[in-house]
Structure 1
């Protein structure tokens, strides 16, 4: 557990509605200020942090004077729209007190299921992190429907961890961590300090929703940890009001429940890509580009592409082939096939002049590329 957070460079922190809104009483300025102070300190230590925050609907309910969570979809969306104003203002003001910039990012699960929007969201978040800005992410409850009914920000936190290839996911909740049974009902419940993410036994231990404010419960956190582990990120579930919880975790202290990923981050991501990618087209590369991909682990630049096949869009999966027709890799294209044909054999510095814009300097970034066939090495962490 200590290594999971102590050596993590990129961390996603998710905090639940009951904590953010002090059990539905409205945005808790003191609590958010405490977390923002810790986020700022982690940023100054050179760590990249992303906050996934619930609380928009609960804050909207408070501002609208509603005592109980509405059931009608349009009322939930209205509450989210009203509450989001206060939520983002609070994070912005508290982070700015520590000289840290912030950015609001609203996502839905559909954004991360669509490959082009996936790449756009990933590029935006990585750019913000590179600018030392802390993204504050919430689900776009104002426009979605099934996410409000069935979704939760625990899952969103895990999806964001996968999106940015985080080293760790920290889920702050109103419980100390995971118990073998509900400690409020069973005095013999045993606290779980550490376990393997994805262990089926954990799902049997987890109960239903623990709060009337949010939509999640311990089961959603267990499933989120399992999802995050799919890309190699370990998860810690801890009490959000534990003093300096984020700073102490980053120092290696054992707090809460650690659910460890069984596969190293790089190997997990490459395996995920190898298992999920379906081809939409292909590019042929020259010998120099093939060597850089196969032997040096480089990205595929447009200048190394000598041919483009098929009709694909940004974010689609394409094959990379040698002049002899041998597939050596697959990856997510940063440009559509029509654009790829225009920039093939050209330097990356010419992309903007040729297309009028630049998505990325690479046709396929090495993080979104996996070697295949005889070119693929054994998956290692």
Structure 2
């Protein structure tokens, strides 16, 4: 049953949107890049850009990509005797430094093939404590959007003072979901889209057949009814972090949608006000206040 949700009529007024791409969307289960998925997403962003939307991307994936790259280099450079020794995991900040280079090279290649220019903006939590930084950030993004450039944000984990396992949620932002929500406020976005590896927000773990998809989340009603599953297989926060970030943005008046990044065409469907009930690839959950 396909149709347009009348309660979502405000989507016709969206001009500027922020799209947050999770690590589980950027990478496959084996940790390698999901090239087809990311390519389809870039094509969708190019279409939005051509239609006059101002698109800002917040991407995860640098740490995972860096770890994969460093594991490969260690394997190539190790002797058989070295490989018999216990392998110590790589420092997360080193992984972030290596992976960020790879991640942005991929975005640049994909967007270049589509005749779209992208720009990298790395930020840390402490940056936002500086009013001058926040003003300059706004001016820089405005300049990029005026040139039809796609700004791509990521937390600069390589030099961030926050350390793993990132259990606390203190500070101005604490993961890329909360960074996306913060940027939605700072940059006055009309819509925040959080792309996940599941179809949307469920009442329980998506693997549980008793879990139901929640199309409109109302904190006062649903907060006590939801049982969150495990964190993302590769990311930092999972659905708990997404809902917390979404509620913060929604209370500030910014609509938020959580939907599957495995079906990038969902973004366009959301902007058209569609809600597809029976297609797993097209379900989306609206998180806001009613």
Residue 25 of structure 1 aligns with which residue?
31
SS in 2 for 1:180: coil
**TM-score using structure 1 length:** 0.63
Q: Aligned pairs, how many?
A: 257
Residue 284 of structure 2 aligns with which residue?
256
Among 204, 207, 217, which residue is 1:195 paired with?
217
Deviation string, structure 1 residues 165-200 (Cα, Å, up to 9, x no partner): 10110000011111111132x32212101123x447
Between the aligned partners of 2:164 and 2:24, the Cα distance in structure 1 is 16
- Asked whether the equivalents of residues 41 and 264 of structure 2 are also in contact (C-alpha less than 8 Å), the reply is no
- Quote the RMSD (CA, aligned, Å): 2.3
1:5 deviation in Å?
3.4
Residue 162 of structure 1 aligns with which residue?
185
Q: How does 1:333-352 map to 2 (within 5 A)?
A: none
Between the aligned partners of 2:22 and 2:192, the Cα distance in structure 1 is 14
Q: Compare relative contact order (CA 8 Å, sep 6+) and give the higher one, 1 or 2.
A: 2
Please tell me whether Structure 1 or Structure 2 has the larger radius of gyration of its CA atoms.
1
- In structure 1, stretches of 5+ residues that fail to align are 263-381
- Asked whether the equivalents of residues 237 and 257 of structure 1 are also in contact (C-alpha less than 8 Å), the reply is yes
1:24 deviation in Å?
5.0
Please state if 1:173 is matched with 2:201. no
1:4 deviation in Å?
4.4
Please state if 1:216 is matched with 2:245. no
Please state if 1:96 is matched with 2:117. no
- Asked whether the equivalents of residues 25 and 261 of structure 2 are also in contact (C-alpha less than 8 Å), the reply is yes
More strand, by proportion: 1
Between the aligned partners of 2:58 and 2:270, the Cα distance in structure 1 is 18
1:251 deviation in Å?
1.9
- In structure 2, stretches of 5+ residues that fail to align are 1-6, 75-86, 167-173, 276-282
1:94 deviation in Å?
1.0
1:110 deviation in Å?
2.0
Q: How does 1:1-381 map to 2 (within 5 A)?
A: 2-65=8-71, 75-146=91-162, 148-150=164-166, 151-184=174-207, 186-196=208-218, 198-199=219-220, 201-202=222-223, 205-242=226-263, 244-254=265-275, 255-261=283-289
Deviation string, structure 1 residues 143-184 (Cα, Å, up to 9, x no partner): 013265423211111011111110110000011111111132
